[in-house]
Structures are given as C-alpha cells and as structure tokens.
Amino acid sequence: MTLVLSDLSDLSDSSDLLRKVLKEQQTLRTPVALFSEEYDTRSIRDRFTHLIPLSKPNPGEQYAFQVNLDACTGCKACVAACHSLNGLDDDEAWRDVGLITGLRKQQPYHQTVTTACHHCEDPACSNGCPVLAYDKDAITGIVRHLDDQCIGCSYCILKCPYDVPKFNLKRGIVRKCDMCQGRLAEGEAPACVQACPNEAIKIQVVKLSDVPDRGQIIAGAFDSSYTRPTTTYVSTKPIAVAKPADAGLLRLDHAHPPLTWMLVLTQMSAGTFFVTALAVLMGFVSLEATRLTSLTALIVGIAGIALSVLHLGQPLKAWRAFLGWRKSWLSREIIAFGLFAKLGALAVVFPSKLTLGLAGIAGVLAVYTSVMVYVDTRRPFWSMKLVSGKFFGTMVLLGVAIPGVVWAWMGHSAAQIAIPTALVLRWCVSLFEMREIRNARRDASSAWHMNARVLTEKLPHLLRARKIMLAMVGIILPTVIFTQFYVAAIFTLSVAITLGSQLIERHYFFTAACGPKMPGN
Amino acid sequence: MITLPAMTFREWNGPLTADLVREPARFGLGQLPSLSVPTATTKAVCGFCSTGCGLMIHLKDGEAINLTPDADYPVNLGTACPKGWEALSVLDAPDRARMPLLHGKEVDWDTALRYFCDQMRRILDQHGPEAAAFLSTGQIMFEEMAFLGALAKFGMGMIHGDGNTRQCMATAVAAYKESFGFDAPPFTYADFEESDVLVFIGGNPCIAHPIMWQRVLKNQRQPEIIVVDPRTTETAMAATQHYAIKPKSDLTLLYGLAHLLIRDGGVDRTFVDAHTNGFEAFESFVADFTPERVCAETGLSSEELVRFADTILRRTNFQVRSGENELGSSFYDKPRVSFWWTMGVNQGHQATRTAQAIINLALMTGNIGKPGTGANSITGQCNAMGSRLFSNTTNLLGGHDFRNAAHREKIAAATGMPVERIPDRPSLAYDQIIQAADEGTVKAIWFVATNPSHSWIDQNEMNRILDKLDFLVVQDMYRSTETAKRAHLVLPAAGWGEKEGCFINSERRIGYSPKVRRAPGQALADFHIFRLIAHYWGCGEMFREWQTPEDVFRVLQRCSEGQSCEITGIEGYAQLMRSGGVQWPAKMTNDEWRMTNERRLFEDGKFFTEDQRAKFCFDEPVAPPEQRSAEFPLILMTGRGTSAQWHTETRTGKSAVLRKMAPEQLMLDLNPEDAAKLGVRDGQQVRVVSKRAELTALTRLTSCVKPGEVYLPMHDGRVNQLTHASFDPLSRQPSYKHSAVRVEIII
C-alpha cells in the first residue's frame, strides 16, 4: 500500500508538540509519598510478631515452617514476595505453590500447597555436599547454603527429595531458602510470611523429637524417614485421598552430559584395569601385553575424570571436595577416583602384578562409590539393584572389550577369550535392563513405573536406538567376526557401538530419573 | 561467573554471599536486599484487577526499582497478589512496542499519526460516521478513556465505540441500571468482614481476587460462606457450603431460593413495601419454582436447597419446622447476608437476569444498605468502573445518556465541546460492532489496550472478521499481542507505572497511580497519543484544556455533577494519594463522605430510580443455546487458571516468576469417570474438539469437575477457538461458560 500523507502545512507546530510530548514522556517527576518519616516509626516488625517465635529454640528444638492449609488458597503471593524481597534472579524463588487434587467421586478435593525448604533435621543436601557448603545452624536448625563455598556440582539437587536447592546458571552455584534467617534474627518475619494475605505461613519452634521420621508431610511428598523434614501442614478438614495435580505428567530431568561421559569412561577405565589385572594374575597374558591396555585405561580414566570437571559451576574451588568425606558419597567418589588415577598411573609406569592388582581393586572401589552416589539419593530408578547392575555391568563389559580390542590388534591369543566374553556380557547387561524396564512398565505399583513410562513414552527413540545397536553388536558383527574377517577392525567397531549404547543408557539414566519433588501444578 | 577460591577450607562469606545480603531499609520496609534499598518511596494503585490494591513503590533516583504492598491502603492492608508484586517487572519485556509499526515496519510518530488520520478520515468521509469504531479497555486510566471517547466521538466524529469491559462487566452494568436506576455497586470491602453469611455465585475470589479473600478471612463473625459453582474451586474448598449446580442452572436456583424464602417467611415486608417496586409480580412468578423443579434442573438435593435458603434466612443450618413461619422474621436474629457475583454470572446467556435474581434476593430479604449486606458485583479490570462511567462509549461521559438532549447540553457545557459534536445515539455494543465489520459497514477499528484476537468468544470467527477490515489499529504496550500482529498500524503505548492517572475499583474507590518509570523507546502514554491525534486530526483546539490527566480529571468532575457518581468534592491527585483513595459519591456540597473511608450505598433505602425505589426484574430461564449432543457430550467451562495469570497474558506472561506459577502446558480438568470411559490417563495428551475448532491439552484428572463437564483456563490463546458465541440479550456480554465439546485420545 502506498503511503499518502496529507499536507500538514497547517500543522507546522506538529514537530514541536511531538518533541514536547516525547520529552515529557521521559521525564520523571515522581511525587514522593508524604509522611515517609511516619513509616519509619511503624516498622514492618510490629505487623507479624504473632507469626514468628518470640524466643530462640532451646536445645532439642529448631525453627520450622508451619502451613495452615485451610488458609492457603493458592494466591501464590509468597512465591512472588520471596523473589522480590530477597533480590533473587529473574525466575528464581525459593518458595513454590503446587496443588493436590482428589479423585474420589464423593470427595472432590482441591488443595494448594505452598512449599519451601523444609529445613530437615537430617538434611540430605548437606549430607551429600562434598565441600561442606551447607550449614545447619546449631541453634535455629536453619539449613543454610554457603554460596561462596559451593562448587556447583548439583549433587544436593539430586539428594534433596523435595527439589529445593536450585542451580543458578549465571553464578554457577546452587542457592536456596535460608528461612530469611537475617530477618528472623532481627525479629522480622520471613518474606513469605509477610506476604501471605491469609497468614497461612508461620514460623514455629518444633521439638526435634516431634519431627516425624516416617510417612509423608503431604500427599505426594517423599517419605519423611529419609531427611526428617520439619515443615508441618495443618488442616481442620478431613484428609482426602489426593494426588499431586502433576502426578501424571512425564517429565524429563536434566541430562548432565559431563556426568554421562564421566561415568561411562571411568567405568570403562576401571574395568579395563580390573580385567587386565585378572588376566595377568590368571596367567592369560604376560605383563608385557598389559602395557597398552593399562595405558588406554589410564587415558580413558583421566579423560572421564577431567570431563566431570566441566560439570562444575565453580571448578576452581573443587580442591575442597575431600572435606565432605565423612558423609558424602560424592566426596568419597572424588577421593576414590583420585586414588584410582594415581594407582593406574603407577601400574602404567611400573607394571607389576601388585600395581595392576591395586589399580584394579581401586577401580572397583571407585565404581562402587559411583554406585553409592546415586543409590544414596534414594530415588527408585537409582536403586542398588539397578545402579549396580548398570555401573558394574558397564564396567566389566567395557573392561573386557577394551583389552579385547588391544589384543585383537596385537594378534594376541587372549583376544579369543575376551571377544566372546564381551559378547556374552553385552547380552547379559542389555537383557537385564530390558527385563527391568518391561517389568516396571507393566507393573503400575512398581517404584519406578513412572520412569519406565518416561522411557517408553518420552524417550522411545533412545530405547529403539539401543536395540538396533544391540542387534548389530550382538548378532551381525559376531557373525562377521566368526568368519575371521577383519576381526580386529570389526570388533573395534562393535566396541565403539557398545560404548555409544552405554552413553545413551547413561543419558536416560539422568533424564528419566523422575527426581522426587513436592506437588506441582 | 567463576570466582577464585579463598585459601580457607570454608568460605562463609564472599562475593556470591554478598549478592543476597539484606540490610535495614527505611520507610518501614524492614530488611531489603542491599542492592535495591530505596532512597524514597511513593504510592500507586495496582493496574491489574479491580481489587485496586495500594502499592508502595521503591524509588532510586526518582525511578521505581521495586515495590511492596502498601500497609496503609484501606483495600489491601499490606498484601498483594503475585501480579501486583510483579507489576514493574512486566514493563521490561523485549517485545515492548518501542516505535510505531506501519505494516510491521518501524516508522516515526509523525508518519504514523499522519497515516492514522488519513486512513480514518478517508473511511469516515467515504462511508460515514459509522464506518470507523474504537474498542477500548478497562486497563488504562479513566482520564485516558475519557480522552479517547471524547476524541473519537466529539473530535473525529465516530458514533461507535465500546470496551473490553463488555466481556467482563456489561452484565453488572445492565442489571444495576435497571434494578437500582444507576450502575451502582453498593458495597464497600468492609462488608466482607461484616457479613454473617457470604454467598459467592460464579466466582472464585481465592485466585481471581485473592486480596478480597483476605478480607473475608478477616471476618470475625464466624460467617457461613456459601459458594455456588459447578466446580470445586479453591473458594469452594474454603467455603462452609458448596453447591455444585449444573452449569448455567444458576438462574433457576436463585428463583428457587426466592420461592423458599417467600414460603418460609424470609421476606422483609417493611423494606420491600417502602423501597421496592414489582415484588408482587415477582412473588407470583417464582411460585412456579418449586423445590422439585429446582432440584431437577440444578442437580441439587432438596436437603441442599433447603439448607441454602435456611442459611440465608437464619444463618445456621436448622431444619425448617412447621409452625415457625407465621412467627415472621423477627423471631430470630436476622443474619447479615451479602451476595457476591463474578464472571460465572456475568458471562452467561441470561446474565443480566441472573445478576438481577441475586439483586432480588438481597432486596426481598432487606439485605442492602446495611453493613455486611448487598448484591455485589466484583468487577474484573483495574478500571472497569472507570470505563463504565467515563469511557464515553455506550454512556455519555459520567453515566449520561446520548439520547437525552439535556444530558448532551450538560456535558457540552462541562467539557467545553460544541453540543452539536455530541452524537445523539449510543454506540453499538462490542459484538454488534464486530458484526457490522463482518457485514462491511464498519471498515476501521481502533483497539486500545485489549487483545480480542485471543480473548473474544469463538476466536477464529473474530479473526476472520478482523482480517476483512480496511484499517486495523492497535494501541498497546506490546507489539507481540495476537491482535497487534494483525494490525496495519501499531501505536506503542506506555504502561502502568510509565504514566499517571486514576482507576476506580470494585468498591467505587478512585485511586491514583503515578509515573515512576521511563517508557521504552518512543512509547507514549495513551494520554499523549490522544493529544497528538487530536492535534493531527485538527481538533486540538477542542481539547485545549486537556493538557494533563489531572486537567481531564477536573473536566470529569464537572461531568459528574448531580450524578449518582458525583466526584466534585475530591480536591485532586494529591488528596487521592494522601487519603488512600476516595469512593464515589464524593460531593462538593456534602461533607459526610469525608468522615469514613469505607462507605456503602443505599443506607437510606433510596435508590437512583425516578421514584427512588429498586425494581424487581425477572424472566423465565431458558436453556443455554449450545447443548450436549452425542457428538459433543461434554460441557466446557472456561475461566481463570491461576492467580498469576491475567487475561491474555500479554503482561503476566513477561514475568519469569509469574510464568513459573502456572502449568507449563494447557491442562484440561477432567473427571476420572469420564477419563475411564475414554480410556484416558492422568497427564495424557488429548484433543479437545468443539464444533468450531480443536486443540490439544494434557489431562489433569480431578473429581473437582463433575462427570460430563470439563474446564480449561482462558489464558491459552487457543481456548476461545472452542467457545460457542452466544450473548446475553440485555447486556450483550459473551457467554464463555457453556460450550459443547468432546475429548479424543491422540493415537
């Protein structure tokens, strides 16, 4: 359309007016409220004294949130106020509001649930932290996060069954609710308490002996035996059969790619040392034949460990990772792999039955700490059976495969044992996992039924890819190898595919983990 | 950002910890983050909903950096809902309109304004004054609305203009006008605290008006709270009695209650005789609404119905005993009953009569004009009331009548406009303007601060018609709204906080909101845009006096003189800011209003009709136009999703924190029985199909919706593709709450 503009010669003052108006728009002459001095005398402190304790907890007591569900009607002002009064980043808030809803015909039930950190008596976040970046205050019991101590490993996020600590990408650390302890110390109410129009949130002093060590604090919450959360939800209404409103949603969790690689490569490395040591001790191969396998294992192991550093938001602070060894399996894993790498290097430089054996044992122990890192989160998908099956399975499978490749290229006879063993292990590991997924998928009462649904409904392409890989590695390539045709090259290809397959498995090990959390929307 | 470690084992403090350090702020604010401690504060009224909360704006160098709810404001007493808390952050969106857009390309204001005037003038000249219309909003200040209405009608010569208040409040307007003689919500928020029985009909204030719910919970009289809603909402859960009637059977229920109240001696004969007209006719009309009939049509049991009526009658839930009736109402302490309604009533196919059925209950039981009583419409938008009184659309400024020559003379005198510029007929209603656009008689529409491409009922039809227009102008804060994307010309507007003016809230309280932020780019206050258009149109002289919003406020004060909504007594913006707002009426000639900050209407029993009597209005209920069928066996209801969402989310969608508070995907509330029949699981993706369109959503199984009914939040841009367009014949308000759909599994 062509622009036909009217003759504005009679509007010669238009540009003047425009200029004036544009200038006026950018001018702030904000009228400042009168009587601001008066406000100073009527502090926010006085308005909420009935919602916070008047005295510090005695020994055997701590501060805790109490939520009156009857008064929580879902306005979510607590979330906005937490964000705003604490100067948090754009989408950051340490409080959240979810919903639980009834399914019974005669009992329609709809309850919004405000939730923040439960300042647990036995905080899993703190127990898991490798650098002691959590501090449970000896008097108030507030679980505080030390932002400058944090290395951004995110393990507390995996450990907390209520999805409380949140990773702050901009800062490379985790941040969380501190119950506005600075406000409480001055007799001011926390932001969420101040903001609730219905006074549904209170800070109370609870006796530690009264903190429940079983059951759920609310429908859909994780079993309290794990961390002993101190938040109490009270209501005068009869308890209805209800589920979180988002219970049926299939979510994908964070993939943690550096951890995916780290786990598979370190397990490959540990397995290679272990199998090599075993082969030497059993007399299948000479020490000479281990030089290359050990070196490969060492390189792979160091690569895995190095990759894991990419996972950290504050890698320069990671030197403190040993601090948490008393409680944290992650701290122990870091120590164990540090030791393993050193013993592995020793075995490469001074190959002997002793050094190889030590490296092999250190490797198995290190993988065990990896298993425990995940088992300790108590997620059903990361049960001892599943995780150890996957991790140790990967370890021995790739641990046999790598020497197999090396020896095949060297033309060493041990390859003739390693290759079929790898093949059998490949089937075992895959069939174990496929059976577990199928069972969990069929059994709605299985603890990881939802994980199996996420796998089959949200990630079917990954399962399909792994099946194709299994068919190639488990059927086609062995057939070729059986014909003695390019054995070394074909087996190498087969191992590469297996490695890829395990990386895919490790990807959904994280994304299909369905981390527990409080009810959502 | 990677920080270097300190050479200690544990770093208790450091730069990352410092990010969150709080320190005592002044102004009674308590501790605030050190990074955002204000140097001064000012006050504003929130610009989202009609609750009209007061906010303390934290200033640094004169510019707003944060806000907290105002503890001294009589409305919200120091709290706000999340939208209020986030009112400033939605101003910083990347999709703010910064320059005028002509056919999607940025142009300067001069070009945009010339183009606007050329096109409008061409269309008006060629096709007459009915060929161009404006459709405005309840979201801008009423001084701006008045400017728009006066400019478009008196200055540019348009006849037709309406507002999006047609979608929310038109019913209450029509009902009050006919029943009370003026569009006059009678209540003050203190009534929430003063009631013995609160009856909420078609409303979910817990999430739609959470700060009003705060006032309900402040009630110390241990009130009975009754909720009438087909769904078990947050409010239904918080109530003492919930009546989950069949969708759109509210009118029958209300007549049935009247029937029982008459039968059981609940009529306040003294009040009815002295202050109302038409009760006898009403009494004989409701004789047909026997409990049997009402129970059959609403789905309630007779015990429920009796309990409901009995609670209105005597608060507690006694069994009705024979022989008690003839003792009359003086036998027991008469409870203070207040009735509150919202969109479930207003957005119905017989909405006005339904609202009046509520008014009738209040009138016949004498529950009006006293503390804790009233037939009370809770409005929607921050300035719905301002729009109703001062937008110059269907009413002439100040609640006057275009058809009345004396009114035209009065307004001409008050505004200084030549009387012949004032049209002698009211505007078409919103839907009629759209229909006229479809028929080709309306060729240009100027939308201000509203997004009908998303919000209008049967949306695809609306968009088909919008695309036929010769000239579509959108004046909005954001260039990304569904309507702005279709516009030929987008005029970039400053938002709340970037301009000053007044809002009128649900309880008739006029509150002031200052300019505390700079608008992005060359976005201009709507007020400035209207000034510029007046100038470019060549009618700037007519608006010589209209230089600032406060100038227009003065003009409107003059317009209100002698009206029920008279505001001549208000001194100006300074007083509004100082006093915590002023409710209308506030007459210069009468000082009583200065005594208290919570005032209700009709305390003297005198209504705004000619004979000062309220009128009983009623009609036979008819079935909703779209019924269930074998093909579409479910009734779809739509409404608010969460407290963090506002209308089409052009603003609330810009706050990351507010976005977090709502489900990421569209959730369809579905009863487990229906789900079992369909073979649908919780959280499964399904297709929702109506005669008009289909969409996909995830199921959320809950027995809070009944079998045969489903619910979708209106904020998703697709939901109104499904809705069936029907309108209340009296208020022309669309009926969003009753469409037939089916749910299909996606294979």
pLDDT of res. B29? 87
pLDDT of res. B324? 44
Residue where the block lists tokens 């903190």:
A211
- Burial class of B596 by CB neighbour count within 10 A (0 to 12, 13 to 18, 19+): exposed
pLDDT of res. A136? 97
Q: What is the pLDDT of residues A158-179, one digit of tens each?
A: 999 999 999 999 999 999 999 9
Arithmetic mean of pLDDT over chain B? 94
**Element of type H or E holding A111:** strand A110-115
Contact B536 A11 (CB under 8 A): yes
Q: Chain A closest CA to B736's CA: distance in Å?
A: 23
Q: What is the pLDDT of residues A249-286, one digit of tens each?
A: 999 999 999 999 999 999 999 999 999 999 999 988 89
Q: Judge if A195 and A296 occupy the same domain.
A: no
Neighboring chain A residues of B207 at a CB cutoff of 8 Å: 73-75
Residue A142 belongs to domain spanning: 47-244
Residue B317 clears pLDDT 60, i.e. is over it: no
Q: Please check whether residue A11 lies inside any domain of the structure.
A: no
pLDDT of res. A486? 79
pLDDT of res. A6? 43
Q: Judge if A193 and A298 occupy the same domain.
A: no
* End residue of a domain, out of A179, A209, A244: A244
Q: What is the pLDDT of residues A418-436, one digit of tens each?
A: 988 999 999 999 999 999 9
pLDDT of res. B499? 97
What is the Cα–Cα distance from B335 to A406, expressed in whole angstroms? 92
Q: Chain B closest CA to A106's CA: distance in Å?
A: 8
| Lookup: tokens for B131 | 């060929």
Q: Judge if A93 and A136 occupy the same domain.
A: yes
Q: What is the pLDDT of residues B470-497, one digit of tens each?
A: 999 999 999 999 999 999 999 999 999 9
Contact B42 A32 (CB under 8 A): yes
Q: What is the pLDDT of residues B619-648, one digit of tens each?
A: 999 999 999 999 999 999 999 999 999 999
Q: What is the pLDDT of residues B89-122, one digit of tens each?
A: 999 999 999 999 999 999 999 999 999 999 999 9
pLDDT, average across residues A143-172: 97
pLDDT of res. B26? 80
Residue B321 clears pLDDT 80, i.e. is over it: no
Q: Judge if A293 and A240 occupy the same domain.
A: no
Contact A183 B114 (CB under 8 A): no
Neighboring chain A residues of B577 at a CB cutoff of 8 Å: 31, 33-34
* End residue of a domain, out of A244, A276, A297: A244
A53 touches chain B (CB under 8 A): no
Q: Judge if A175 and A100 occupy the same domain.
A: yes
Q: Which residues contact A152 (CB under 8 A, 6 or more apart)?
A: A167, A172, A173, A174, A312, A313, A314
* End residue of a domain, out of A244, A278, A308: A244
What is the Cα–Cα distance from B664 to B147, expressed in whole angstroms? 39
CATH topology of domain B15-92: N-terminal domain of TfIIb (2.20.25)
Q: What is the pLDDT of residues B681-708, one digit of tens each?
A: 999 999 999 999 999 999 999 999 999 9
Q: Please check whether residue A311 lies inside any domain of the structure.
A: yes
Q: Chain B closest CA to A201's CA: distance in Å?
A: 14
Query: Inter-axis angle of helices B250-263 and B279-286, to 10 degrees?
Result: 110
pLDDT of res. A369? 98
Residue B273 clears pLDDT 70, i.e. is over it: yes
Confidence of residue B208 (pLDDT cuts 50, 70, 90): very high
Neighbours of B713 (CB within 10 A): 19
Q: What is the pLDDT of residues B149-180, one digit of tens each?
A: 999 999 999 999 999 999 999 999 999 999 99
Residue B350 clears pLDDT 80, i.e. is over it: yes
The answer to whether B43 and B76 are in contact (CB under 8 A) is no
State ipTM: 0.94
pLDDT of res. A12? 61
Contact B28 A150 (CB under 8 A): no
Residue, of A23 and A31, whose pLDDT is higher: A23
A175 touches chain B (CB under 8 A): yes
Which of B1, B67, B69 is opposite residue A172, by nearest beta carbon? B1
CATH at A374: 1.20.1630.10
Query: Inter-axis angle of helices A257-281 and A487-511, to 10 degrees?
Result: 130
Give backbone dihedrals phi and psi of A195, rounded to 5 degrees, phi first.
Answer: -85, -20
H helix intervals, A350-383 = 353-375
Q: Judge if A375 and A497 occupy the same domain.
A: yes
Q: Please check whether residue A158 lies inside any domain of the structure.
A: yes
As a residue count, chain B comes to 747
As a residue count, chain A comes to 521
A138 touches chain B (CB under 8 A): no
Which of A14, A24, A147 is opposite residue B536, by nearest beta carbon? A14
The answer to whether B502 and B527 are in contact (CB under 8 A) is no
What is residue A426's three-state secondary structure?
A: helix
| Lookup: tokens for B496 | 């709340």
pLDDT of res. A9? 44
Among chain A residues, the shortest Cα distance to B30 is held by: A44
Q: Please check whether residue A95 lies inside any domain of the structure.
A: yes
pLDDT, average across residues B52-75: 93
| CATH 3.40.228.10 boundaries in chain B | 186-377
Q: In what order do the strands lie in the sheet with B582-583?
A: B501-504, B509-513, B582-583
What is residue A428's three-state secondary structure?
A: helix
Kindly write down the DSSP assignment for every residue of B47-85, as one continuous string.
SSBTT--EEEEEEETTEEEEEEE-TT-TTTTT---HHHH
What is the Cα–Cα distance from A75 to B705, expressed in whole angstroms? 20
Contact B20 A39 (CB under 8 A): no
Buried b (16+ CB within 10 A) or exposed e, B267-285: bbeebbeebbbbbeebbeb
| Lookup: tokens for B292 | 């049997």
Torsion of CA A441, A443, A445, A450, to 10 degrees: 10
Handedness of CA A348, A353, A355, A356 (dihedral sign): positive
A20 touches chain B (CB under 8 A): no
Confidence of residue A357 (pLDDT cuts 50, 70, 90): very high
Among chain A residues, the shortest Cα distance to B643 is held by: A75
pLDDT of res. B578? 86
Choices 3.40.50.740, 3.40.50.920, 3.40.50.1100, 3.90.550.10: CATH for B101-152+392-568: 3.40.50.740
What is the Cα–Cα distance from A246 to B641, expressed in whole angstroms? 15
What is the Cα–Cα distance from B567 to B381, expressed in whole angstroms? 21
| CATH 2.40.40.20 boundaries in chain B | 634-745
The answer to whether B155 and B537 are in contact (CB under 8 A) is yes
pLDDT of res. B595? 82
Mutate one of B16, B204, B229, B527 to test the A interface: name it (highest A CB count within 10 A).
B16
pLDDT of res. B316? 58
Which residues 248-287 of A have a C-beta within 8 angstroms of B? 248-250
pLDDT of res. B322? 39
Residue B545 clears pLDDT 80, i.e. is over it: yes
Residue B613 clears pLDDT 90, i.e. is over it: yes
| CATH 3.40.50.740 boundaries in chain B | 101-152+392-568
Residues facing residue B54 across a β-bridge: B45
pLDDT, average across residues B609-615: 97
Q: Which CATH class is domain B634-745?
A: mainly beta
Q: Judge if A261 and A239 occupy the same domain.
A: no
Confidence of residue A39 (pLDDT cuts 50, 70, 90): low
pLDDT of res. A42? 56
Q: Judge if A172 and A305 occupy the same domain.
A: no
pLDDT, average across residues A116-143: 97
Residue A66 clears pLDDT 90, i.e. is over it: yes
In terms of CATH architecture, what is B186-377? 3-Layer(aba) Sandwich (3.40)
CATH at A176: 3.30.70.20
pLDDT of res. A106? 83
Residue, of A42 and B129, whose pLDDT is higher: B129
Best CA proximity match to B472, nearest among B459, B482, B486 = B486
Best CA proximity match to A96, nearest among A71, A77, A110 = A77
pTM of the shown model: 0.94
Residue A36 clears pLDDT 70, i.e. is over it: no
pLDDT of res. A33? 59
Q: Judge if A205 and A283 occupy the same domain.
A: no
Residue B346 clears pLDDT 90, i.e. is over it: yes
Give the count of domains, chain A: 2
pLDDT, average across residues A82-90: 95
| Lookup: tokens for B431 | 């839907």
The answer to whether B493 and B449 are in contact (CB under 8 A) is yes
Residue where the block lists tokens 């004294």:
A49
Q: Judge if A369 and A300 occupy the same domain.
A: yes
Q: Judge if A227 and A261 occupy the same domain.
A: no
Q: Please check whether residue A110 lies inside any domain of the structure.
A: yes
Q: Judge if A232 and A342 occupy the same domain.
A: no
The answer to whether A88 and B94 are in contact (CB under 8 A) is no
